[in-house]
C-alpha cells in the first residue's frame, strides 16, 4: 500500500513538472506576450537647437531611430516630465509655440505640467495645450475656487494610451514649488495639492478604464518621489518619472521604476515593459539611461527647427522700446533697471545680483529692438535662485567682482533691505537671484554654490525680465522714454 502510494505520488509529481514546463513553454511562445519601451525626457526648456553640437531635438530623434529602433507607430511611449519651454530665444520668444510643434513632430504621447509651463500666463498655456497633439497632465493642479482639475485650459489629470495591446494609464503631477518658481501672479487662481492625495483620488478612476499598467509622470524631484513611491505601493504604480531637478536616473524603488531624463535634450531614460496580455501580468522590465550626443539628424525635425530659427532671426528686428537719450553701459540707471526687473519677475526674491561683465554695451537713443537687448546681454545665462544666510550674501556683495545689486542698499558699513528697510542680518536666510555664470563660481562668486549647492535654475534667460520691463514702458517713436 505504501509502495503504491509512493509510486502514485511520484507520477503525480512528474505530471505536475510536465504541466509546469508546458505552461512555461506556452507562455514563452505565446502570441499574448507584448513589449513596449518608454522613452523619457524632462526639463527640455526649449533647447531644440541643442546646447552643443549633436544634442539637438533632431539629433535625439535620429538617435532614438538608430539605437532604439523607434518608429512613430511602433511599440513606444514618448513621455516628458515637463518644463518644455522657457530657455533660448527660439522657444521663449514664441511663448513655447515652437517647442510644442517640435514635440508634436517627435511623437510625444504626454507631458507633465511643469512650473515653467505657466511662465506666459494661463491663456498662453491654454493656447499651447490646444496646439499639442499630446495631453498635458497634472492631477494635483486644481482651481483654487472649486478644487477641480483645470481641464478647460488643457490640463488633464490622466490619459489612457494603448500601445501594442497594452493599456497604459498615465497620471501627471506638478511640483508644489510652482507658486514660487514661476510668476506667482500667473498661478494665483490655482492650487497645487499634496502628491499622494492627488494620486489616491485619481488612480481609482484610471483603474476603472481597465488599464494594464499605471505610470506617473511628475515634474517633481527624485528626493520627493522616492518617499511617494514607498507610500503608494498599494496603488501598483509601475513607473514614476521625475523632473524639475534635471536629474538623470533609472533604478527600481520597491516595485516601481524611478526615471529621470536629464535636461535640455542632452540625455534620456528608458524602460522596456514585457507584458502577458492573456494572463494580465507584467513579466519583466528593463531600464537604462543614455547620453544623447549623435552625429546624424532626423531631416524632418531638423527642417522644422531651421524654420523656427529663421523666424527667430526675424524676431530680433522687432522693436521693444524707444529711448529719448542714450544710456551708458556702466550707468547706475541701466544696472538698476536690469536687477530690479528680476525682482519684478520674482516677487518672492529679496535680492538680485548680476555681474557687471554681463552687461556689454551702451543703449543708444531711438529704437531698441530685440537684437539690441541680445547685444546688451548676449550670454545664455539663466537666472538661479539661491537661499543663503545674510553672512554669505554680505560676502558676495563685498567680495564678488563688481556686483550689480538690487533689493539691498549700502548704508554706512552695513546693508539695508529695500523692501522692508531692515538691516541685513547675518543669521537670517534670504532668497537671492543670480545668473548661472556667477553660480558656477565666475567672477569670484564661489561662496554662492558652496552655501546652496541645490540652487534652483529657473530656466529664464537673464535678459528676459529686462526686455519685458522695457516693453512695459509703453514707449513709441513719437513718445520715447528716459530711464
- Are 344 and 200 members of one domain? no
Q: Does a structural domain hold residue 135?
A: yes
Q: Does a structural domain hold residue 114?
A: yes
Domain of residue 464, residue span: 318-472
Q: Does a structural domain hold residue 11?
A: no
- Domain boundary pick from 265, 282, 311: 311
The CATH number for 244's domain is 3.60.21.10
Whole-model pTM?
Answer: 0.78
Number of domains in the chain: 2
- Are 119 and 191 members of one domain? yes
Q: Is 264 helix (H, G, I), strand (E, B) or coil?
A: coil
Would you put residue 412 in left (φ > 0), alpha (ψ -120 to 50) or beta? Answer: left
- Domain boundary pick from 276, 311, 346: 311
- Are 89 and 214 members of one domain? yes
- Are 359 and 230 members of one domain? no
- Are 297 and 324 members of one domain? no
Per-residue cell: 399: 567680495
Q: Does a structural domain hold residue 477?
A: no
Asked if 211 and 235 count as a contact pair (C-beta separation under 8 A), the reply is no
Question: What pLDDT sits at residue 168?
Answer: 98
Question: What pLDDT sits at residue 315?
Answer: 83
Question: What pLDDT sits at residue 296?
Answer: 97
Cβ burial, residue 418 (10 Å; 0-12/13-18/19+): middle
Q: Which stretches of the chain score pLDDT less than 70?
A: 1-29
- Are 215 and 322 members of one domain? no
163: β partners: 166
Question: What pLDDT sits at residue 21?
Answer: 37
Q: Which helix (H) or strand (E) holds 161?
A: strand 158-163
Question: Could you read off the pLDDT of 384-425 as tens digits, one per residue?
Answer: 999 999 999 999 999 989 999 999 999 988 999 999 999 999
- Are 271 and 408 members of one domain? no
Question: What pLDDT sits at residue 483?
Answer: 92
Question: What pLDDT sits at residue 269?
Answer: 98
Amino acid at each position: 500500500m505504501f509502495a503504491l502510494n509512493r509510486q502514485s505520488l511520484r507520477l503525480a509529481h512528474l505530471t505536475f513538472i510536465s504541466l509546469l514546463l508546458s505552461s512555461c513553454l506556452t507562455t514563452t511562445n505565446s502570441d499574448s506576450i507584448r513589449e513596449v519601451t518608454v522613452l523619457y525626457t524632462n526639463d527640455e526648456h526649449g533647447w531644440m537647437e541643442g546646447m552643443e553640437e549633436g544634442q539637438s531635438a533632431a539629433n535625439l530623434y535620429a538617435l532614438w531611430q538608430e539605437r532604439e529602433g523607434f518608429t512613430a507607430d511602433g511599440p513606444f511611449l514618448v513621455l516628458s516630465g515637463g518644463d518644455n519651454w522657457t530657455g533660448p530665444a527660439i522657444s521663449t520668444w514664441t511663448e513655447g509655440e515652437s517647442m510644442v510643434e517640435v514635440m508634436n513632430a517627435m511623437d510625444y504621447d504626454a507631458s507633465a505640467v511643469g512650473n515653467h509651463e505657466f511662465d506666459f500666463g494661463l491663456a498662453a498655456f491654454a493656447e499651447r495645450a490646444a496646439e499639442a497633439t499630446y495631453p498635458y497632465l497634472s492631477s494635483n493642479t486644481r482651481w483654487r475656487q472649486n478644487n477641480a482639475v483645470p481641464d478647460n485650459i488643457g490640463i488633464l489629470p490622466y490619459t489612457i494610451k494603448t500601445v501594442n495591446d497594452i493599456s497604459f494609464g498615465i497620471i501627471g503631477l506638478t511640483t508644489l514649488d510652482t507658486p514660487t518658481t514661476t510668476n506667482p501672479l500667473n498661478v494665483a487662481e490655482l492650487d497645487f495639492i499634496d502628491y499622494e492625495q492627488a494620486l489616491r483620488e485619481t488612480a481609482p478612476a484610471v483603474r476603472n478604464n481597465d488599464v494594464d499598467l499605471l505610470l506617473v509622470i511628475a515634474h517633481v524631484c527624485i528626493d520627493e518621489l522616492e518617499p511617494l513611491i514607498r507610500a503608494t505601493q498599494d496603488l501598483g504604480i509601475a513607473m514614476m518619472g521625475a523632473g524639475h531637478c534635471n536629474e538623470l536616473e533609472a533604478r527600481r524603488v520597491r516595485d516601481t521604476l524611478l526615471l529621470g531624463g536629464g535636461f535640455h535634450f542632452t540625455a534620456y531614460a528608458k524602460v522596456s515593459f514585457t507584458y502577458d496580455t492573456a494572463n494580465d501580468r507584467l513579466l519583466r522590465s528593463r531600464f537604462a539611461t543614455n547620453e544623447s550626443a549623435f552625429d546624424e539628424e532626423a531631416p524632418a525635425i531638423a527642417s522644422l527647427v531651421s524654420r523656427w530659427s529663421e523666424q527667430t532671426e526675424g524676431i530680433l528686428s522687432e522693436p521693444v522700446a524707444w529711448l529719448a537719450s542714450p544710456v551708458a553701459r556702466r550707468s547706475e540707471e541701466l544696472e538698476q533697471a536690469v536687477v530690479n526687473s528680476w525682482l519684478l519677475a520674482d516677487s518672492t526674491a529679496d535680492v538680485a545680483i548680476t555681474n557687471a561683465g554681463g552687461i556689454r554695451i551702451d543703449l543708444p537713443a531711438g529704437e531698441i529692438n530685440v537684437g539690441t537687448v541680445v547685444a546688451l546681454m548676449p550670454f545664455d545665462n539663466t537666472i538661479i535662485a539661491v537661499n543663503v544666510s545674510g553672512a554669505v550674501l554680505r560676502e558676495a556683495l563685498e567680495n564678488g567682482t563688481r556686483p550689480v545689486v538690487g533689493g539691498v542698499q549700502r548704508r554706512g558699513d552695513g546693508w539695508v533691505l529695500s523692501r522692508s528697510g531692515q538691516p541685513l542680518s547675518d543669521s537670517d536666510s534670504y532668497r537671492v537671484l543670480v545668473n548661472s555664470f556667477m553660480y558656477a563660481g565666475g567672477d569670484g562668486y564661489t561662496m554662492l554654490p558652496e552655501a546652496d549647492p541645490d540652487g534652483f535654475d529657473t530656466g529664464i534667460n537673464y535678459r528676459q525680465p529686462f526686455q519685458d520691463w522695457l516693453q512695459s514702458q509703453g514707449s513709441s517713436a513719437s513718445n520715447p522714454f528716459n530711464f
